[in-house]
Amino acid sequence: MNRKDILQAQILATQLSHFTGPVLPGVQLPASLDCLAAQLVDSTKRVRYATTIGQRHIQGATVTDASSLSFNPLTAAVWQQQHGNLDEACWLIFLATHFGKSRRYGWGLLRAVYGGLGYGTSWTWPRVSSDIQGFRQWLVANEAALRQAGSFGNHRKRESLVPPGSTAGTADTVAGYVSWIAAAGGHVALFNASQVTGSPQQAFDYLYQSLETVIRFGRTARFDYLCMLGKLGFVPLEPGSAYLHQATGPLAGARLLFGDGLSKAALTTNLFQLEAYLQLPFGFQVLEDALCNWQKNPVKYINFSG
Beta bridge partners of 106: 102
Residue 249 has pLDDT above 80, yes or no: yes
Tens digits of residue pLDDT in 42-77: 999 999 999 999 999 998 889 999 999 999 999 999
Q: What is the pLDDT of residue 154?
A: 82
Q: What is the pLDDT of residue 306?
A: 54
**Taking the chain, what is the end-to-end CA distance rounded to the nearest angstrom?**
16
Q: What is the pLDDT of residue 166?
A: 64
Alpha-carbon torsion, ordered 44, 244, 158, 108, to 10 deg: -20
DSSP-assigned letters across all residues of 138-184: HHHHTHHHHHHH----GGGTT--SS-STT---HHHHHHHHHHHHHHH
Task: Decide: 39 and 26 in contact? Cβ < 8 Å.
Answer: no
The reported pTM is: 0.95
Q: What is the pLDDT of residue 168?
A: 87
Q: What is the pLDDT of residue 61?
A: 85
CA-CA distance, 43 to 21, in Å (whole number)?
22
H-assigned helices in 214-258: 219-231, 249-258
- Of all residues in the chain, the percent with pLDDT exceeding 90 is 89
CA-CA distance, 158 to 220, in Å (whole number)?
12
* pLDDT, the chain, mean: 95
Tens digits of residue pLDDT in 178-211: 999 999 999 999 999 999 878 999 999 999 999 9
Q: What is the pLDDT of residue 124?
A: 97
Tell me, what amino acid is at 10?
A: Q
CA-CA distance, 158 to 153, in Å (whole number)?
9
Residue 157 has pLDDT above 90, yes or no: no
Query: In Å, what is the CA distance from 241 to each residue of 42, 121, 152, 270, 285?
Result: 19, 40, 27, 11, 8
Residue 153 has pLDDT above 70, yes or no: yes
